[in-house]
Amino acid sequence: MQLNLHNPLDQCQLKFASDEKTGEFEGYASVFNSNDAVNDSIVPGAFAKSILSGRIPRLFVNHKHGDIPPGSWTDLKEDDHGLWGRGSINLDIEKGRELHSAMQRGDMDGLSIGFTMGDGDFSRKDAGGRIIKNVDLREISVVTFPCEPGARISAVKAEIEGFMTLKDYENYLREVGGFSKSMATAIVSQIAKVARSDSGANERQMTGKAGAGVLAMIENMKTKL
């Protein structure tokens, strides 16, 4: 399951190439050793494996993976500041021209990364949040609100509403909440019992009360996300 992490607005340093008609732009998609809205931090070297793999992450707008990418990333590298990237907007399609105009006007001026990671790719902070040491970088989005705390909760809600099985919730708690497999299974099993007793819902269709239960629990544990 993909996680999203927003780069603080004042750290993006987005700018267009000298010839704006090419659609080329550059900026920082992530900054090292900063704290995001839920106290997560990424350390230098976290993107090294993804860059060395040669797999280029996709370029989207606001993490809308179902849309046609309005451009592509052409160059990525880590430096002392963070993950720097150069992208090229496809001005031959309407979505590309719309994005180009919005970025030139300053209506969209942030970047956000989408990635996955395993159990050994991060450690917990004593005060809550995570120190992220390695990520599998999947995409980098141009976003409207790169440092909006509410955007993360909205993303959580959207993901949960699309879940269809108990396993979806277990995986979410493990990957996003950092719970062990046994703890995630126990939590979801208890929520399933409550949902069945309240409404008699089928155990395999958990997008109703069970989903609301998981969302409420996660929102009450923001320091763990």
Residues known to be catalytic: 63, 112, 139
From CA 3, how far away is CA 52, in angstroms rounded?
21
DSSP 177: S
Structure tokens at 67: 């849309």
From CA 121, how far away is CA 132, in angstroms rounded?
6
Q: In what order do the strands lie in the sheet with 122-124?
A: 41-42, 130-132, 122-124
Contact (CB, 8 A) for 224 and 177: yes
From CA 220, how far away is CA 190, in angstroms rounded?
17
One-letter amino acid for residue 199 of the chain:
S
From CA 5, how far away is CA 156, in angstroms rounded?
12
Q: Which residues contact 181 (CB under 8 A, 6 or more apart)?
A: 170, 174
Contact (CB, 8 A) for 141 and 60: yes
DSSP3 helix / strand / coil % (the chain, rounded to 5): 35, 25, 40
